[in-house]
Amino acid sequence: MDETPEIVTKVTGWLADAGEVAMGWLASPAAWSQFALLAAAFIVARIVTLRVNPVLSRLIAPPEGRTGPIATARSFVLRFLPLLLPLFAYGLTAVGEEVTRSLFGSGEVIAFGKRVFLFLAVRAFVRDILTDPFLRLLGRYVLIPVAALYTLGLLDDITTRLEETVIALGNIRFSVMALIRGVIAGSLLFWLGSWSNRQSADYIKKQAELRPATRELAVKATEVLIFGAAFLLLMSIMGIDLTAVAVLGGALGVGIGLGLQQIAANFVSGIILLVEGQTTVGDYVELDGGEKGTIVKMTARSCILETFDGKWIVVPNEHFITSRVVNYSDQGSANRYEAAFSVSYDTDINRVPGIIEAAVAALPFVLKKPDGPDVELRGFGESGIDFAVEYWVNGIDDGKNKYGSQVLFAIWNALKAEGIEIPYPHRVVELRDGSTPVKARVKKAGA
């Protein structure tokens, strides 16, 4: 016949003990007096809570429409009012326990009731106060079960059993309780690290006096510090010797030397980019490999470029250090462009600069500083006299900013308004009928 599993025997023993304790309480007059004290403590706590809750709500609640740190803190404290009833009942029960033990020498019933009120406080805390989905999940499946075991008096036995169960992985040995403690502590620490990282990142990014590159570097440094401290604290909580971390660091160094050098190079290159600040978020850049776009994000490994047609290009940070990079928009600086055009040889070319410069300067996006529009004579072509107008604008002539097209329209309209002809190619054709050549001059558009 198969033996009964140990866990079944253990649970059966716990149930039998609980039954004996319950029967003893039901048969004891002292237990009934403690039940009466518990009921009285709950009724008094209920009456006091009903009277105090409205008063505290009016005192703590911030004025309507008020914002700021103080108003946020008052709203946060207001969320804890549901704990008032179970905690007040717990306090009254604790006083009753001391009185009962001093008079009758026993107080198991009222001590159990005190633990019940504490369980109710934990349940209210998880149900009414925790709003973060992860914390509420952790409270529902970890905090409430632990409080229930404590209420039933089983927590110490289960904890001892888990401490005695040891898991061995090579030379590393740890108990099941240490593993559970590590999982719970790790979840809390890394949630807290993520929350702290978000708060610190938001605060740093609001510091307008810092350069964007400096802000990004501060955000990355803060992130490394927060999660590094969380990892070391977790190792300490789990009871793992930090010398094992040193061994892990040595192995990681060997791995970097053998196969992760590109990742390490990109990480170091990212730090150099953030420190130097020559390229930062918002700059329009072009690399030797042909990649070009606006930097929308800088990570520890790469920069993300967004092209004008909406595509994202992930460029490793190392490329910004080892190759030539053209930065067209260093923090919003002006850029110079030019538009070429020609006029016929019949034109008085001394009039052209004034006409075109005035027409281009009238465009709203053309800057007067560092220099206004400037028309230059570039040469004498086959079909006409070649000019070019140079102008300065803020931004890049692509995507949503089509500066070149508008400038060419302005040139065309200005020349037409002044009656100046824009030439097209001319060709001379010779027709031979045997002995006498016949020359004909043909105008042909489009070469």
> pLDDT at position 175, please?
77
Please, which pLDDT band fits residue 447 given cuts at 50, 70 and 90? very low
Q: Is the pTM of this model over 0.85?
A: no
* Both tokens assigned to 113: 């009731």
> pLDDT at position 446, please?
42
398 close to 445: Cβ distance less than 8 angstroms: no
Lowest mean per-residue pLDDT among 10-14, 75-79, 131-135, 385-389: 10-14
> pLDDT at position 319, please?
85
Selected residue with higher pLDDT from 191 and 246: 191
> pLDDT at position 44, please?
83
What would the pLDDT profile of 351-360 be if each residue is shown by its tens digit?
Answer: 999 999 999 9
CATH number assigned to the domain with residue range 263-327, chosen from the 4 options 3.40.50.1700, 2.30.110.10, 2.60.40.1930, 2.30.30.60: 2.30.30.60
Name the nearest CA neighbour of 361 among 409, 418, 410: 410
Lowest mean per-residue pLDDT among 192-196, 353-357, 370-374, 421-425: 192-196
Domain 334-426: state its class.
alpha beta
Q: DSSP 3-state assignment of 19?
A: helix
> pLDDT at position 145, please?
87
385 close to 377: Cβ distance less than 8 angstroms: yes
251 close to 257: Cβ distance less than 8 angstroms: no
| Strands annotated E in 161-232 | 166-169, 172-175
> pLDDT at position 154, please?
77
pLDDT above 60 for 398: yes
> pLDDT at position 67, please?
73
pLDDT above 90 for 438: no
Selected residue with higher pLDDT from 410 and 94: 410
CA distance 397 to 304: 21
What would the pLDDT profile of 405-423 be if each residue is shown by its tens digit?
Answer: 899 999 999 999 999 988 8
**Residue ranges per domain, the chain?**
6-164, 175-259, 263-327, 334-426
> pLDDT at position 350, please?
93
* Both tokens assigned to 427: 């060709």
What would the pLDDT profile of 32-83 be if each residue is shown by its tens digit?
Answer: 667 777 778 888 888 888 888 888 888 878 777 677 778 777 777 888 888 8
> pLDDT at position 391, please?
93
Largest Cα span, the chain: 145
- Distances in Å between the Cα of 230 and the Cα atoms of 24, 106, 174, 180, 237 are 49, 45, 20, 17, 10
Q: How many CA atoms lie within 13 A of 285 on its CB side?
A: 25
Across the chain, mean pLDDT equals: 77
Q: How large a percentage of the chain has pLDDT more than 90? A: 11
What would the pLDDT profile of 135-160 be if each residue is shown by its tens digit?
Answer: 888 888 888 888 888 887 778 888 88
> pLDDT at position 445, please?
45
